[in-house]
Structure 1
């Protein structure tokens, strides 16, 4: 390993795009592509003044990039959706400074799949361990309390755990396609009461004179992405100080246009789909769909469910999508067919006493989380017998 060179980067522009993309691959998650991460930085959405300092680690064999780790130095815990405020409170009680911390994730995107991107010709486990050693050294030198990898890729997780990372389980929602041929086929899995509820909610949208049209990729005019910024900003403003408005107007006006090959807009309209009264923005890659943002100009009962859940599910079935992750939070997702799923984050704390304390607590906490997930899913309004597909 002596011929390897490690470098730290304060911006995506310091790493060649082609070299980064060669490691993530054409089938990699869009949230970890060079254009996506660069767009967040260039638009002013993920920058130091917003509490996100890019601090990416790269590993080189002479002039060849062989591994990268997207990392951010953070002075707060917002935009992560793995809620470690109790850790921060505990650190304060012990007289320890919790921030800044180092975070590995795709910013403001609670999407499973974080990993070190490593050349497949290299020894992935060995380079993972080496990069974690480099991160530990960096944290000690810079007096950074911890490094935290969020929503990790289950295939990469064992390498990081073998190198000493502690695992903390949380939960998220996921809709899975069991081979449905249409939305009614999907509804057949619910009990009779919930089928009636969902049909009633969908009928109320039609009764309001609305329909929902998906706009995909190159079909999306630039003006619609700018309109999406209006909906996004308006929705965030309704929550006041808790609005979580992270993306800048520049992101929607410039960067989203370049990223739209991965985007799907669901436009709720009366007449022209390009004149929406509400819209949601989803991201698609292959047979996976992620829900991200939504907003509405009008308060219409059940419109959120239609634009953010039902219409995307109906479209996903038609497109052969296997999984739909609707985003963080919201117990209301459960009753609409999104099962609770465990999601792992990995942690390294530089204070030995704090590290020992958390590692003693985590096994019990993780067991309780799995019990909670099982209990939540047991309460879902599904039929308890196998139903044949083909209800359409």
Structure 2
């Protein structure tokens, strides 16, 4: 079958209905990944958070069978490596030291979002194979240094490996709901020391006079979003960096996908002081952003972990993905999970050097995973 191909500078050229219909076919046994939804991606672009001006130039690949969108790939031309969470700064530096340009590069990822999900969106295997072939044609023709596909599921990573990409693995920490009837039942499954520490952390927040309220997206007010954005900006200011996302983005997803949003707002003496934003489906909760306007010991753990865990238990959500990095999550019941990325470099000598590096790194990741699994926080 021959597909009509196209490169899209805006997602509106695909259309919301066609895009979301294709997305719904990727994992039929699960709710569609909210970060790949038209609402989320379009909000990133239209708010200017991920745009050519910020170094994220959309260049989505699309295949049509007649009028049907048969396959698509989120793809960006990147002029830097910020907001990716799979770090290739050392590769860029090596190119620079040898007088070779590393940027621009091609990147398939959800901007600022280290969440595993389908990248090769396709109605069937034939369309997916054609999409991979189209990607290979584009990267050869583009003249860019490299192509990177971040956080695909393992099966898609393997398909890219078969097409000549090198694979890289990493580690995240995810919490799995064992049908706990309540938070105390979850605590009871942990080792005594871990259980004691969590109770002590929650008590510190309570003793500080802090109350928490969980706000579903459909109930979030304009004031709630403005307050959350203040917290979000303050987190970046404290780390002497600039925030990736603006208020317009948060307002857009609040309006377009309220059923996928949970805000946790902390208050003291009737005044909000901290907040976290989480995205969820019926089966997965994703920890995203947190910020505070004043310091309260352990408030981060309460707002970003314990309140969301209670929400998962109440709503019978099976998995809580806590975001990038963070061994400290293990003490709170999160377990190590392997992630994947796929990489293609045009320069033969650098491709060979990176391949050798990834082989060594992979052995280190295997050893790290084994070490983490030996520190299981649950009762034996």
Matched, 1:92 2:96: yes
- Structure 1 residues 242-300: Cα deviation after superposition (integer angstroms, max 9, x where no partner): x5x1111211234432222210011112466xx52211100011110001111112110
Residues 54-63 or 221-230, more deviating: 221-230
Which among 292, 304, 316 is matched to residue 320 of structure 1? Answer: 316
Q: Which residues of 2 match residues 71-220 of structure 1 at below 5 A?
A: 71-119=75-123, 122=124, 124=125, 126-220=126-220
SS in 1 for 2:154: coil
**In 1, Cα distance between equivalents of 2:94 and 2:131:** 28
Distance in 2, Cα, partners of 1:65 & 1:360: 38
Cα offset, 1:31, TM superposition: 0.3
Structure 2: give runs of 5+ residues left out of the alignment. Answer: 26-30
Aligned residues: CA RMSD? 1.8
Deviations 1:47-99 (A, max 9, x none): 11111000100001232211110111101111111111122223334443211
User: Could you say which residue in structure 2 is the equivalent of 1:357?
Assistant: 353
Instruction: State how far apart, in whole Å, the 1-side matches of 2:338 and 2:210 are.
Output: 36
- Tell me, which stretches of 5 or more residues in structure 1 are unaligned? 386-392
User: Structure 2: how far apart are the matches of 1:94 and 1:37?
Assistant: 36
Q: Which residue of 1 aligns with 2:28?
A: none
- 1:240-255 matches, cutoff 5 A: 240-241=240-241, 243=242, 245-255=243-253
Residues in 2 aligned to 1:360 and 1:297: alpha-carbon distance in whole angstroms: 45
Deviation per CA, 1:353-378: give whole Å up to 9, x if none: 22223223323321220211221232
Contact 1:46–1:107, Cα closer than 8 Å, also in 2: yes
Q: Please say if residues 100 and 144 of structure 1, whose CA atoms lie closer than 8 Å, have aligned partners that are also in contact.
A: yes
| Matching residue within 337, 342, 350 for 2:338 | 342
Whole-angstrom distance in 1 between the partners of 2:185 and 2:68: 50
Higher mean displacement: 93-102 or 6-15? 93-102
User: Which residue number corresponds to residue 223 of structure 1?
Assistant: 223
Q: Does 1:9 align with 2:8?
A: yes
Matched, 1:66 2:65: no
The number of equivalent residue pairs is 375
Does the CA-based 8 Å contact 2:277-2:289 persist in structure 1?
yes
Per-residue CA shift, 1:149-172, capped at 9, x if unaligned?
A: 101123433322222222100111
Give the whole-Å Cα distance in 2 for the aligned partners of 1:373 and 1:15. Answer: 40
Q: Secondary structure at the match of 1:156?
A: helix
State whether residues 282 and 317 of structure 2, in contact with CA within 8 Å, keep that contact through their aligned partners in structure 1: yes
Q: Distance in 1 between matches of 2:66 and 2:371?
A: 52
Question: Residues 328-351 of structure 1: CA distance to partner in whole angstroms, max 9, x if unpaired?
Answer: 133322222222211000111112
**Alpha carbons 2:71, 2:128 under 8 Å: kept:** no
Q: What SS does structure 2 have at the residue aligned with 1:240?
A: coil
Contact 2:59 2:75 (8 Å CA) reproduced: yes
Question: How far apart in 1 are the matches of 2:99 and 2:53?
Answer: 26
- The farther-off stretch of 62-71 and 331-340 is 331-340
Q: CA deviation at 1:380?
A: 4.4
